Structure 1
Amino acid sequence: MFITKNGSTIAIRDDGDIISVCANNSGNVKDSSSSLLKFATTKGGTKLDSFDGNYKFYCHCGFEPVTHVEFNEEYAPSNWVKGRDEAENVIFFKYTGKQSRYTKPEQFYEAVSPVTGDDAYDNAYTIRDENQTR
């Protein structure tokens, strides 16, 4: 876990999974999420997963979408409210350092079918890891 002097956080698991990306943008001094990700990749970060609302941001930062699972209410964030919040798919990305070939999420969803079934999340994680290149 890395914490900036401004209170932003990012963590990298031993397997290169980037987690806990949280830029503190309060007050006069701000950390950028893209700077946090760039830092993470220099420290061994090679992959991440995120709700699809962050799709364009992660693609812009050099992450390529590999696979995805459909939203599952059972695993929704604790502050998610049905009817108020969007049900976003989870996308699994790998770091390439290049712009994604899928400039829009719709292109990705059209080209790549979701992973389904009881173990969808774990299977999508494995599929992404098997496609790791750097």
Structure 2
Amino acid sequence: MFITKNGSTIAIRDDGDIISVCANNSGNVKDSSSSLLKFATTKGGTKLDSFAGNYEFYRHCGFEPVTHVEFNEEYAPPGWIKQRDKAEHVIFFKYTGRQSRYTKPEQFYEAVSPVTGDDAYDKAYAIRDESQNTQ
């Protein structure tokens, strides 16, 4: 776990999974999320997963989508309200330093079918990890 002097955080698991990206944008001095991700890749961060609403941001930061799962209400984030909040796919990314040819998540969905089944998230995680070994 890394914490900036401005209170932003980012964590990297031993396997390179980037988690807990949280830029503190309060006050006069602000950290950018993109600089946090760049820092994470220099410290061994190689992959992440996120809701589709963050697709373009991660794409611009050099993360390419590998696979995805459809939203599952059973794993909705705390405070998620069905009538108000979007049910977004979870996309599994790997860091390549390049922007994906898919500019929008919908283009990616057309090219790559979602992983399905009871253990879809675990399967998608494994597919993404295996893709890192074949770069």
Task: State the TM bucket, normalised to the shorter chain.
Answer: over 0.9
Letter in 1 for 2:17: D
Match of 1:29 in 2: 29
Letter in 2 for 1:18: I
TM-score, length of structure 2 as denominator length: 0.97
Map Cα deviations across residues 21-73 of structure 1 (whole Å, 9 max, x no partner).
00000111110000000000000000000000000000000000000000001
> How far did residue 96 of structure 1 move?
0.2
Q: Whole-Å Cα distance in 2 between the matches of residues 36 and 96 of structure 1?
A: 16
Letter in 1 for 2:112: V
Match of 1:44 in 2: 44
Match of 2:94 in 1: 94
Identity %: 89
Q: Whole-Å Cα distance in 2 between the matches of residues 79 and 61 of structure 1?
A: 28
> How far did residue 106 of structure 1 move?
1.3
* Partner SS, residue 36 of structure 2: helix
Match of 2:115 in 1: 115
Q: Whole-Å Cα distance in 2 between the matches of residues 94 and 22 of structure 1?
A: 19
* Partner SS, residue 67 of structure 1: strand
2:113 is the counterpart of 1:125: no
TM-score, length of structure 1 as denominator length: 0.98
Letter in 1 for 2:86: E
Match of 2:54 in 1: 54
Q: Whole-Å Cα distance in 2 between the matches of residues 26 and 35 of structure 1?
A: 16
Match of 2:7 in 1: 7
Q: Whole-Å Cα distance in 2 between the matches of residues 68 and 104 of structure 1?
A: 14
**Aligned-residue CA RMSD (Å):** 0.8
Aligned length: 134
> How far did residue 92 of structure 1 move?
0.1
Letter in 1 for 2:16: G
> How far did residue 105 of structure 1 move?
1.0
The ranges of structure 1 where at least 4 consecutive aligned residues each deviate by more than 3 angstroms after the TM superposition are none
